[in-house]
Structure 1
């Protein structure tokens, strides 16, 4: 029996080439499934792959919080997986257990105990929550709003990429934490309606509208106290122009700049001086020692219905991951984007009920 992997093939200069056959960014590889399991390893089967904007930076960034993926290596990424077989020295695991795995883009993987994180589905939850509201996505939003922006009751909060995985959670946390007004920026009328009707944002602005800057101005009559940025570029500039005195800007991502060889910084930078703005970039790993308490609070909000999740799951197997990643940068998703590598119906029977 064999299984498929997706390997990093060719560095992109600008946008990712999703082709798996014509000198694309990635290529498909097939390898035999192990027949024996080393004593210190777990054989896991991947069911869902997480797709994240930072993946573009992982391919080419020379100086970042993590080394770039090496050419010829399995594409980096987290997954929701099920343990199939357990090495003899790992008695705390058993076949059928669900884990968050640092597997990369592969259907199966032999991993050490340090490369997986067991999780228990909380009341009202589901395993895919470990990739979204209760995983790195939710934690990034949580720490960005509570630790970096130090949200206060009465703040006016703006979130860019607000209908995406992290932005949609960040805006909800701001509301839960007492923000006076929460404004989201998104790329379609449908996404804006979702933010207001489903997630409780006060206003949503479609940045593809010709007059979006005027809409942003109208939506922030008392200026912006907190800005959670996932996009960079022109949106960051526009929000700097609306910054309140002592505003706090959490720079989580810059998806508008990832697929260009000449990214641009903010042109409205003088506002940082005149309004005493604090801008801070952050990585969720900075707060690893606080993960447990944060997940507990996020899980409580989810169970109480204060926090809602939204998933965009791409079916069809691992071969769809490259195109899905390209689509992520095009903004086709609302909420957390994942690739379904294997449906839950194919999980080991004892643990298949989700």
Structure 2
């Protein structure tokens, strides 16, 4: 039995406003010998995601907050390097939620076996072919009930979920897909690579005016990753019977003051709108259908993706903060 150490990143204190390195602790701990039914996994990639910021607050949410002194959990993909569980032999690729560490050891039931696909990076299991892609699929198809011919607006469109959602919307038959992003370069990327019919830089201001200029006939579906002014702009732009899937509100995650709600919520009444927040855990029954469809689209060469990869477990916090600042294109990952 090989004895290894595990480098883990813990929550040292709860951030006030923007997180800093002082809110985290890097700790190296020795791993015990494997027990029957356990496996040891060397992570290849770990994920940093916007929802993690909410879990750093001690508030009620859809998932329990991180505990002070506890490891930051979240998505990771890696390979079994030692095993005392016959169902997960050495060399098996697995997904798990043990999060920010280089090596993890636990019962086999805590890991999900995923096949290695020739020519497809394992990292895609953490975004386009994993929970990120499924989130976009569920938000559009199940929550917002997008129909062929709809005009769709996606905020935060250059991020991991946004780049997936724009492509999925087009493949599901959207008439027009519009996105917002935080730089002119990202706006151009959305149009050149991800099939967006139009996009705008929200940092130029007047989000509602920019959206109206690109969707003068209104929008039917809104996929929200940002909240705040973007949500208010969508409420202005909705056609009668419009539907919104509220996935995230990153504009307020680091705010130290209560967020001000949209001033035009009455449009929900006068236009018969439906806005529904969702978290993926309540829709996992759709994973099989999504995997089949996404696999087919990949095989047909219809899916593009970007990854922003930071090297080394020691730079995980830096990667997380950069992701929160919008410095990534596509999925932000840490390669171990």
Query: What are the equivalent positions in structure 2 for 1:49-128 lying under 5 Å apart?
Result: 49-87=46-84, 90-122=85-117, 124-128=119-123
Corresponding residue for 1:335? 330
Match 1:176 to one of 168, 171, 174: 171
1:157-209 residue CA offsets vs partner (Å, 9 max, x unmatched) = 00000000001111111100111000010000111111000111100111011
In 2, are the aligned partners of 1:40 and 1:113 still within 8 Å (CA)? Answer: yes
The alignment partner of 1:55 has SS state of helix
In 1, are the aligned partners of 2:96 and 2:112 still within 8 Å (CA)? Answer: yes
* Structure-1 separation of matches of 2:110 and 2:236: 44
* Structure-2 separation of matches of 1:203 and 1:166: 17
The alignment partner of 1:215 has SS state of helix
Deviates most, 249-258 or 108-117: 108-117
In 2, are the aligned partners of 1:311 and 1:334 still within 8 Å (CA)? Answer: yes
In 2, are the aligned partners of 1:186 and 1:204 still within 8 Å (CA)? Answer: yes
Tell me the CA shift for residue 253 of structure 1. Answer: 0.2
Tell me the CA shift for residue 77 of structure 1. Answer: 1.2
* Structure-2 separation of matches of 1:191 and 1:172: 15
Tell me the CA shift for residue 229 of structure 1. Answer: 0.3
* Structure-2 separation of matches of 1:72 and 1:210: 40
Asked which structure has the greater RCO (Cα within 8 Å, sep 6+), the reply is: 1
In 1, are the aligned partners of 2:138 and 2:286 still within 8 Å (CA)? Answer: no
The alignment partner of 1:208 has SS state of helix
Name the Cα RMSD after superposition: 1.3
* Structure-1 separation of matches of 2:58 and 2:276: 19
Query: Unpaired segments of 5 or more residues in structure 1?
Result: 342-354
Match 1:232 to one of 227, 234, 244: 227
1:137-165 residue CA offsets vs partner (Å, 9 max, x unmatched) = 00000000100111111100000000000
Query: What are the equivalent positions in structure 2 for 1:219-258 lying under 5 Å apart?
Result: 219-258=214-253
Corresponding residue for 2:7? 4
In 2, are the aligned partners of 1:301 and 1:307 still within 8 Å (CA)? Answer: yes
Corresponding residue for 1:345? none
TM-score (structure 2 length as normaliser): 0.96
The alignment partner of 1:3 has SS state of strand
* Structure-2 separation of matches of 1:49 and 1:255: 20
TM-score (structure 1 length as normaliser): 0.91
Query: What are the equivalent positions in structure 2 for 1:1-354 lying under 5 Å apart?
Result: 1-17=4-20, 19=21, 24-34=22-32, 36-87=33-84, 90-122=85-117, 124-261=119-256, 262-315=258-311, 317-341=312-336
Query: Unpaired segments of 5 or more residues in structure 2?
Result: none
In 1, are the aligned partners of 2:42 and 2:103 still within 8 Å (CA)? Answer: yes
User: How many residue pairs are counted as aligned between the two chains?
Assistant: 332
In 2, are the aligned partners of 1:125 and 1:303 still within 8 Å (CA)? Answer: no
Tell me the CA shift for residue 129 of structure 1. Answer: 1.1
Tell me the CA shift for residue 61 of structure 1. Answer: 4.8
